[in-house]
Structure 1
Amino acid sequence: MYLCDMNQMLMILTQRELFLLVIGALTYMALFVVTWQNSRRKVLSLQERLDKVRAMQEVADVEANRQKIEELERLIQKLGSENSLLRLELEEKKAKLDYANTMARIESEKRERAEGDIFRSEVYLRIQRLAAEGRSMGEEDWQQLAMLVDSVYTGFSEKLYSLYKLTTYDYHVCLLVKIHVLPKDIALLTAHSKESVSTSRSRLYQKVFGKKGSAKDWDDFLLSI
């Protein structure tokens, strides 16, 4: 009788251990799948952001295109009237490069003139006065600055928010960086410390690019778009 009871207890313990083992294994597998999915989502999200960054920074290389155009012109001349289909294809490529270069030059000239307008604008001059007086910007100042920047750098704000969900403070810092305001003045205008301004910029670089970078790295990116 005693041995029978012992055997039953061992069977019960074995069943419990097996049950716990199965539950543990299933829990581990579930955690593994969730972790893998989260990791995959992060990788895909980072790749999507980097693709957006590359698209924002794509600017026609005028000099490289000019060299390609010259090479195409030489090939077209060599073909003469022979192989008309290939000749048309080469002429099409040349026309596309000509167009890209024309648009790049126009965009460059527009930006140069527009940036000059920024530095002569009442908004910019007021920002400089506020910084000189050690005062921060008000809500109306920020609204006017955002409108000014977006009017010159088309879609600047939209591009930033498509990369990362900025806080109001981060966004204000980015606007001031875009118009070449010095970090020490950004601190005054946003009523934050210089350390906070630096941390915000380096943190944004890490969030967007998925790797550590300096405040200057973030500034360089902002100035490139």
Structure 2
Amino acid sequence: LKIEEENRALGSIKNTDIGIMIQKKKRSETKEYLTKEERKQMEDTFDQFMPSFKEKLWSVYDISNRELNVCMLIKLGCKPADMACLLGCTPSAISKIRIRLYKKFFNKPGSAEDWDRFILAL
């Protein structure tokens, strides 16, 4: 039941204005960044449809806005290269953020993919 509810919430997020905007920008040839307002709208949308997502992350570690953006984009199924374009950084920076977050949360080394699995299961 929890998985069904989560899938429904993710589907709802993807069908909001910001969800559609993220998909559009991901496919754009011009590689447009998410604006500060769009990142805030994404966070507000997550708060609306998945209120415990941010709370679960912050209950363990006080993550930065950039780290939260990466986590939300992982949850939405974005690839690292897409996240890099959307957030205006390199794919390497995205990988480092994911690796660093895994170490902060689990107090042991892990891969970027380990972090993705954790976020997708959250």
Quick check: TM above 0.5?
Answer: yes
5+ residue gaps, structure 2: none
Deviation at 1:179, TM superposition (A): 0.9
Q: Is the counterpart of residue 129 in structure 1 residue 37 in structure 2?
A: no
5+ residue gaps, structure 1: 1-104
Question: Which of 181, 195, 203 matches 2:100?
Answer: 203
Please give the alpha-carbon distance, in whole angstroms, between the structure 2 residues aligned to 1:149 and 1:200: 20
Q: Is the counterpart of residue 142 in structure 1 residue 21 in structure 2?
A: no
Higher helix share: 1
Deviation at 1:165, TM superposition (A): 2.1
What is the TM-score when the length of structure 2 is the normalising length?
A: 0.89
Please give the alpha-carbon distance, in whole angstroms, between the structure 1 residues aligned to 2:4 and 2:116: 22
Using the aligned pairs only, state the percent identity.
33
Q: Is the counterpart of residue 212 in structure 1 residue 105 in structure 2?
A: no
Please give the alpha-carbon distance, in whole angstroms, between the structure 1 residues aligned to 2:52 and 2:32: 29
Deviation at 1:118, TM superposition (A): 2.2
Alignment of 1:82-121 (within 5 A): 105=1, 107-121=2-16
Amino acid at match of 1:157: K
Please give the alpha-carbon distance, in whole angstroms, between the structure 2 residues aligned to 1:162 and 1:110: 22
Please give the alpha-carbon distance, in whole angstroms, between the structure 2 residues aligned to 1:224 and 1:109: 13
Please give the alpha-carbon distance, in whole angstroms, between the structure 2 residues aligned to 1:160 and 1:112: 19
Between 1 and 2, higher relative CO (CA 8 Å, sep ≥ 6) is seen in 2
Please, which moves more after superposition, 209-218 or 161-170?
161-170
Q: Which runs of 4 or more aligned residues in structure 1 lie more than 4 Å from their structure 2 counterparts after TM superposition?
A: none
Q: Is the counterpart of residue 163 in structure 1 residue 56 in structure 2?
A: no
Deviation at 1:221, TM superposition (A): 0.7
Render the CA deviation track for 1:76-108: whole Å, top value 9, x for unaligned.
xxxxxxxxxxxxxxxxxxxxxxxxxxxxx2x33
Cα distance change, pair 112–166 in 1 and its aligned pair in 2 (3 A) = closer
